[in-house]
Amino acid sequence: MARTTHTRERTIPQAGNLKGHTTGTGFWAKLKLVVSRAIFWSYERGSWQYDIIVLVILAFIFLTPANWFHDRPRLQLTDLRHVQGIVEVSHSGPIWIYQLDARLVDSLEPLSPLEATRQLLVQRVHPPFAIKSLQPILGSHDVVLGYTVEVERK
């Protein structure tokens, strides 16, 4: 059998009992303890410290301005998707507004965007009509995602 070793003192000396060492019970030691417990979430559920941490997290979620994260919805190519790549946005009286996917317009490459738009709208809008304005929809880095077309039906 293995022999056990007996120690003369059965208690472990405290940090304050060692010569040349400070106890560290100052403000910074307490602050370090609170921060480490908060980071490692070592408070019991239902304690007031736990509730404070939860409130801080909820305050961060709901009170942080959205522009800090640059998380704005961006117009994607799929936003302009429809059966034919042409979406009717609105109309009032004889004025109709459509959005066209830029890839659909670019598929008629030798034509200018205005002529390609006119040719695409002939399939959707029965003549006679006149295109009043054609404005590109720009994405990030000024990439043309589509076109907003204002059409006057006659």
- Interior/surface letters 98-119, b for 16+ CB within 10 angstroms, e for the rest: bbbbbebbeeeeeeebeebbbe
DSSP letter string, 41-87 = T-SPTTSHHHHHHHHHHHHHHHHS-GGGTT------GGGG--SSSEE
Least-confidence region, from 6-10, 66-70, 124-128: 6-10
Report the alpha-carbon distance of residue 64 to residue 138 in Å, rounded. 28
- pLDDT bin (cut points 50, 70, 90) of residue 79 is low
Q: pTM of this prediction?
A: 0.46
Least-confidence region, from 41-55, 62-76, 83-97: 62-76
| Averaged pLDDT of the chain | 79
Over range 109-134, report the average pLDDT.
87
